[in-house]
Structures are given as C-alpha cells and as structure tokens.
C-alpha cells in the first residue's frame, strides 16, 4: 500500500514532461502544483490528518527543483519551509496537524518543546534561567524577537516561555544561555544586532568566532548568534569586543567581485596583522594574476584572506614565515657627566688595536706601534674637539663590564674632578623597534603675557623638558652583529644666569645632541663622548656699603671667576635576547645587580667619587689615574 502511495506521489509531482530538455539544467523541474494537492498527498503518505481553511490556501502553488525525486518523508520535512514562504504555520499535535496563517498561530496553542528537542515549525519552549532575573532578560531581548513571537516570564520559577517558530526559539535559547552567567557578568555585557547586506551570516559567524577565540584571554570574549531570517548577527559581549567585531564586519560586508571565492581567517601570534597585510598586498601587486584580497583586523590581530581560486598555499607559506617570534635587544646604558674646574686636564684616550705576542709576552698592537702590555700604552691626553665614538674591549673592568682589545678610559690629573652619573637605565626592545629613554624634569617658564582692557595681566606658563633623552633603534644582522641608530639629547639649565631675568621666569637651557649609527658585536660596549660645554661662573663677595666705594671698595670685596668644563659620556651595551631562556638570564642578572646595590657592595672606579655596583671579586684593572695602581682604588 505504501509503495503504491509513493509511486502515486512521484507520478503526481513529476507529471511535468521530462522531455523538456531544452534547458541545460541538471535538475528536473516539477510543474507547479496546488499547495492543497501537496498537503493531501502528504496526508495520505504519513497517515496524519491536516486541518486548514481551503479558502486561505486557494491559488497557492509550489515548484520544486530536485536532481532526484523527494521521498514522502523528505516532503513532510520540507512542509515547514513551504508553509513559511506562504506566511503559514503548521502546529503538529501528534496525528493532527493544523495549518493556519502565522499571525493566527501566534495566539494559538503550540506543542511543547523543552531544551533543544523541538521538532515542529511552531513550538513553545521553556527556557530556564539560573543566574539572572528572567524579567531582566525579557526586557533586554525583546528587540530581537520576531513579530509572531510570544514571550512570557514565569517569575516564580524564573523561566522564560517562548512561542515562535523552531529556528527562532533555538536562536533565542542560545542568546539566553550566553547572558545567563554567574558573578553578575550580564550587567557589564551588551547586545547588538548587526544586519548584513552582502555577507552570509553563517560565514560571518564562523569568521568572527575564529577571530575572537584568540582574544578571550584579553577580555574580548564574544558570542555570535546568526539570525538567518533577517540575515543579521546578534553580538553579545563586552563593549570593546563588540566595537571590534562591528568594525571588522563593516570591512567584510562588501559586495564581492569574486562570487565564487572562498575566505579564511588567520589569527597571528607574533607579527602585526597590519604589517603582514601590507606585505601580502605588495605580493599581489607584483603578481597581477593573483586574485587574493587581504583585510587586516587590527583589534584582533588577524588576517581575513579571500581568494576566488581557493588556493591558499602561497599565502599560508608567507604568513608562516612572517609570523615568527622576533628577537629582542636588551640595552644597558650609562650616561655620565665629568666636570672639571680651572685648568683641570680631562681626556678620553682612544686606543684601537688587538692583543698579540712579542718575544713571548702579550703586547697591544695599535696605530701608534707595538708595546709590551705591562701597562697600557700611553698616548697624549687630549680631549676630542667634537663628538667621538669608541668601542670598549677588555681587559679593563668598568662597572660590571669587561673590555679587551679596544680601550677608552677616563683620566683626571687633579683631585677636584667630579663625576655625575645622570642615568643608568636598562631597556628591552624588539628588533627594529625604537626604544626611548627619558630621564629629567619639566621646568615651568613664563610664556606670553596679555593685558585685558581692565588692566588685568594674564601670564601663560610654558614648560620645558630638561634632562637626558636617548632614542635607539637596534637591528640584528645575519652575522649576529647589532646596528644601532642612536639619537641622544642632553639638556640642562645654565648656571649663573642674570637673576633679574630668572625672577621673571626666563630660563636659559644648554642642549647637547648626538646622532649616529654604529655596528657592534653582541654584548660589546660602545662609548659616545666629546660633548663638551663651558660654564663660566662669577662670584662677588663684599662688605655692604664699603664694598661699593670706588677704588677703596676693592679692599672690602673679592671676586672669583670659575670656568667649568663638562664632558658628557654615554656607554651602551646591547645584548641579543632570542628566547625565554636568554630573557630569564638577563632578568636574573639584573636582579643580582640590584641585590648587590642594596647590600652596599660597591667598588670605586676612575676617581673616589664614582661608585658602581659590581660582582664581588672582579678586578678593577687599568682604571687608576697616573701614578696609582688599580689595587689602590679598591675599597668596600
């Protein structure tokens, strides 16, 4: 009997002449049949009874395209979609199925579907709410309900009861599950509906979910629920995550020129999505036949790639080579000023050469010749006339650094030499990224002055930065050497300014700048020097009244003029850090240095004024002034 009914259904549905093969379609086109006829056939096949108003179904026809004839069971499952297109709804009550307009079905009873087991087109679902008040959710979620939906709150059990079509109730339940979180999370979350004009909501949901998987740890958790009826996405999350998602959707919801293309999302772990996108764009421009389109989503640091050919092999290879952990450079800096009064002789002696052997003894080879290294080869003590750059080698110990074949050391010939350490910063930066160190203060100065018609004076206050600014861009070369681009500025307030001008807020500052590019080995120290300034200070001490008498007043007053030269030296030691292990070693070394400083283990170098924390037991070789051994400078 069933086989006869199936045959009857197939004959009826495919009664259109199949000889009409004038179209190249692979599908068979079923002739338009009355909707009532299709319902009658389904009723005979399934044994269900259908109740409907024939007048409301009159003249409604359907057309089905299929490569193979649909079975009666498949036709019954298609009934929901067929009725939905015709603004009708089916309420299945077991053996009885009622068909009515969707608006009328809204006010009628519907089968109960608990959880996610709803099987009917129009159902009633009970949704339990555990952490949030159901009434609060109803007020917040009302805008996303369809016009045919009925939502009721059972405040006693804290349930939401929704009557709507099956897909809508499932979608609503997902939204409720996302918002129903402990710890009052819902109060900090937002819900936004974003309609899409061109993009598919299912594709957009997949893309956003993949992008924001990597953002959960950063507090950018996002729940995306697709609404296929309106081709919209329901976004649930914190404000910053929703804004990021909306910005990305705005870029993606564009009319695609490659209708047959495919899309992939690549969240990046190390590289910048914006910079990788620029590289891929240049790659595309150099290959006109390449059809890829790349969009960088900066907030999620991900790449969205379109390709109409579906071949992403080349793109993935490029991304894999660019999205790698970048090496870092740890830079230790020491910035000092050496001040000299009167005719104090200050010099920085530069020696360039290497260690060799002469007659079985270690010797130092330099531009001036070869000499035995029982002491450092002496050169005339001269102060560089301009900026100078030197490279420090061993075996001289300066602080906790050891220098070998390139020597630069500070010497003083009088005891009134002063050494002022301006800064001893340490900074870690990525390869090819600028690092900036600023140590100083903001000094207020008098700016413009205005007088209003009433005679009131208003003075604007300007601010000047005074101190040390050091900008460094390291570049690690293939041979592990490091190229440093250095831009250093030191500014200070000039002493001995005219007091009347100072009282009015006029301040004179002294600026010293140095800009250079050098290449050093990993761990090698360089020194920048020769930035010399002169300060002339006149001091007059006199007896009041008597000191102002012409000629005789000289017996009651004294004048002292002091010339002070200041030499600025900058020591830099870059160290390549290629992984977590090396970074841990650098951090441990810094901790030990800080611990030594706190415990007061210092060694005095250069003069008895300059104290630097060092590792206990390190020899302070070759840092003594003339006539003194290096051992005589060592003290606890």
pLDDT tens-digit readout, 324-345 = 888 889 988 887 777 765 433 3
Tell me, what's the pLDDT at 84?
Answer: 67
Pick the CATH number of 190-252 from 3.50.50.60, 3.30.1370.120, 3.30.420.40, 2.60.120.10: 3.30.1370.120
Residue 536: closest CA among 506, 509, 568, 560: 560
Tell me, what's the pLDDT at 474?
Answer: 92
109-179 and 262-324 share one fold: yes
SS3 174: helix
Tell me, what's the pLDDT at 87?
Answer: 72
CB of 75 closer than 8 Å to CB of 9: yes
CA angle 454, 457, 459 (to 5 degrees): 150
31-105 placed in CATH 3.55.50.30: yes
Residue 370 vs residues 269, 380, 390: alpha-carbon distances, Å = 55, 16, 20
262-324 placed in CATH 3.30.1370.120: yes
Tell me, what's the pLDDT at 41?
Answer: 77
* Matching residue, tokens 């003290």: 635
Distance CA 527, CA 516 (A): 12
Find how far residue 369's CA is from the centre of its chain.
54
Distance CA 39, CA 537 (A): 109
CB of 168 closer than 8 Å to CB of 102: no
The fold adopted by the segment(s) 109-179 is Ribosomal Protein S8; Chain: A, domain 1 (3.30.1370)
Tell me, what's the pLDDT at 485?
Answer: 92
Domain definitions of the chain by residue range: 31-105, 109-179, 190-252, 262-324, 341-407
CA angle 82, 84, 90 (to 5 degrees): 85
The ranges of the chain with pLDDT < 50 are 1-30, 112-120, 258-260, 342-417, 498-502, 601-636
């Amino acid at each position: 009997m069933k086989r006869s009914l199936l045959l009857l259904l197939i004959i009826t549905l495919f009664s259109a002449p199949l000889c009409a093969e004038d179209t190249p379609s692979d599908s068979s086109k079923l002739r338009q049949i009355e909707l009532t006829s299709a319902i009658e056939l389904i009723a005979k096949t399934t044994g269900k009874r259908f109740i409907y108003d024939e007048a409301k179904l009159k003249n409604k026809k359907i057309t089905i395209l299929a490569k193979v004839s649909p079975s009666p069971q498949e036709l019954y499952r298609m009934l929901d979609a067929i009725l939905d297109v015709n603004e009708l709804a089916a309420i299945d009550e077991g053996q009885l199925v009622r068909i009515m307009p969707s608006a009328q079905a809204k006010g009628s009873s519907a089968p109960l579907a608990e959880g996610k087991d709803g099987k009917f087109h129009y159902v009633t679902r009970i949704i339990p709410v555990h952490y949030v008040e159901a009434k609060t959710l109803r007020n917040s979620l009302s805008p996303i309900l369809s016009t045919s939906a009925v939502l009721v709150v059972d405040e006693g059990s804290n349930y939401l009861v929704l009557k709507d079509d099956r897909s809508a109730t499932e979608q609503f339940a997902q939204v409720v599950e996302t918002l129903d979180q402990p710890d009052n999370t819902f109060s900090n979350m937002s819900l936004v509906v974003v309609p899409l004009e061109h993009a598919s909501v299912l594709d957009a949901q997949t893309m956003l979910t993949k992008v924001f998987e990597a953002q959960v740890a950063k507090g950018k958790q996002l729940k995306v629920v697709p609404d296929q009826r309106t081709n919209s996405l329901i976004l649930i999350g914190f404000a910053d995550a929703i804004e990021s998602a909306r910005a990305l959707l705005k870029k993606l919801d564009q009319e695609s020129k490659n209708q047959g293309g495919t899309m992939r999302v690549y969240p990046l772990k190390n590289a910048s999505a914006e910079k990788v996108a620029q590289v891929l764009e240049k790659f595309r421009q150099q290959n006109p036949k390449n059809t890829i389109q790349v969009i960088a989503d900066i907030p999620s640091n991900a790449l969205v790639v379109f390709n109409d050919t579906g071949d992403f092999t080349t793109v993935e290879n490029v991304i894999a080579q660019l999205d790698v952990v970048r090496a870092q450079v740890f830079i230790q800096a020491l910035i000092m000023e050496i001040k000299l009064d009167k005719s104090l002789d200050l010099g920085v002696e530069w020696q360039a050469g290497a260690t060799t052997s002469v007659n079985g003894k270690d010797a130092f080879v330099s531009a001036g010749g070869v000499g035995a290294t029982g002491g450092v080869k002496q050169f005339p003590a001269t102060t560089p006339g301009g900026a100078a750059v030197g490279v420090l080698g061993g075996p001289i110990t300066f602080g906790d650094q050891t220098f070998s074949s390139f020597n630069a050391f500070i010497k003083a010939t009088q005891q009134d030499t002063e050494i002022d350490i301006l800064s001893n910063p340490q900074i870690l930066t990525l390869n090819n990224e600028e690092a900036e160190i600023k140590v100083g203060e903001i000094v207020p100065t008098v700016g413009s002055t205005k007088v209003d018609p009433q005679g009131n004076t208003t003075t604007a206050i300007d601010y000047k930065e005074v101190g040390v600014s050091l900008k460094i861009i390291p570049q690690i070369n293939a041979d592990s050497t490091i190229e440093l681009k250095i831009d250093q500025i030191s500014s200070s307030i000039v002493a001995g300014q005219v007091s009347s001008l100072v009282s009015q807020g006029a301040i004179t500052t002294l600026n010293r700048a140095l800009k250079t590019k050098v290449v050093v080995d990993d761990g090698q120290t360089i020194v920048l020097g020769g930035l010399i300034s002169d300060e002339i200070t006149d001091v007059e001490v006199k007896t009041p009244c008597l000191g102002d008498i012409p000629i005789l007043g000289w017996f009651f007053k004294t004048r002292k003029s002091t010339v002070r030269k200041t030499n600025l030296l900058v020591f830099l030691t870059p160290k390549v850090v290629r992984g977590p292990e090396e970074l841990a070693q650098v951090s441990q070394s810094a901790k030990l240095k800080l611990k030594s400083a706190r415990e007061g283990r210092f060694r005095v170098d250069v003069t008895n004024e300059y104290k630097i924390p060092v590792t206990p037991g390190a020899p302070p070789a070759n840092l003594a002034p003339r006539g003194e051994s290096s051992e005589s400078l060592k003290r606890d």
